[in-house]
Chain A
Amino acid sequence: NAGVMQNPRHLVRRRGQEARLRCSPMKGHSHVYWYRQLPEEGLKFMVYLQKENIIDESGMPKERFSAEFPKEGPSILRIQQVVRGDSAAYFCASSEYGTGVDEQYFGPGTRLTVT
């Protein structure tokens, strides 16, 4: 059973460009979570999605960031007009049920560098 897949693993963007990060959850998982890890910091929650629905976006910046998890295909985290402060590692996690102590399985992350 393949784990959580993220691509690309490394992404370099110039200021003002768009970044699109993809996450394929584990087989059978319909709950996806995005976290951001800034240098020397722990992971910070961004958004929680189920298929076609955003459940909790309390950690998403109000502007430039959006996320989706369509019925078919991977979850996408989109950052428009990137700035240097967006440079970070972005991790996706997935779970089967999304409740209680259901374990979240993490992908290897996408390391975004904004030049």
Chain B
Amino acid sequence: GNSVTQMEGPVTLSEEAFLTINCTYTATGYPSLFWYVQYPGEGLQLLLKATKADDKGSNKGFEATYRKETTSFHLEKGSVQVSDSAVYFCALKDPQGGSEKLVFGKGTKLTVNP
């Protein structure tokens, strides 16, 4: 079945540090890939997405590239800010598997210190 594995946290960085959160997936078809962010006490917000191999999703300084050969979708940001502190979830949707549901990783908690 479909699954997502992402880097376990928590991750603690200083402001302006480089961020990488690893995400790999297993899917029966050709999934779309997503990164969601959850701020404390809130619901999930879509951060970025990619729908096919070699696509790069980007938003708010975050980037992730859909790598079919390594089945990965790693999240990166060149210079993190305190306001980026949140939990980040990698997810996939595989309509060819017959469902519109999102399959999530366990989440990675990021804390950015001033």
Contact = CB atoms under 8 A, between A and B. Distances in A.
B99 A43 contact: no
A42 B51 contact: no
B82 interface: no
Contacts of B99: 48, 56, 58
B51 A101 contact: yes
A105 to B, nearest CB: 8
Contact of B49 (A6, A35, A55, A101): A101
B104 A109 contact: no
B56 to A, nearest CB: 15
A68 B107 CA distance: 29
Interface string B74-97: 000000000000000100010100
A59 B107 contact: no
Interface residues of B, number: 23
B47 to A, nearest CB: 11
B100 A98 contact: yes
Interface stretch (B14-22, B37-45, B59-67): B37-45
A109 B43 contact: yes
A4 interface: yes
Contact of B89 (A6, A42, A56, A101): A42
A107 interface: yes
A106 B36 CA distance: 10
Contacts of B42: 108-109
Contacts of A44: 104
A33 B101 contact: yes
Interface of A: 4, 6, 31, 33, 35, 40-45, 48, 55-56, 58-59, 91, 93, 95, 98-109
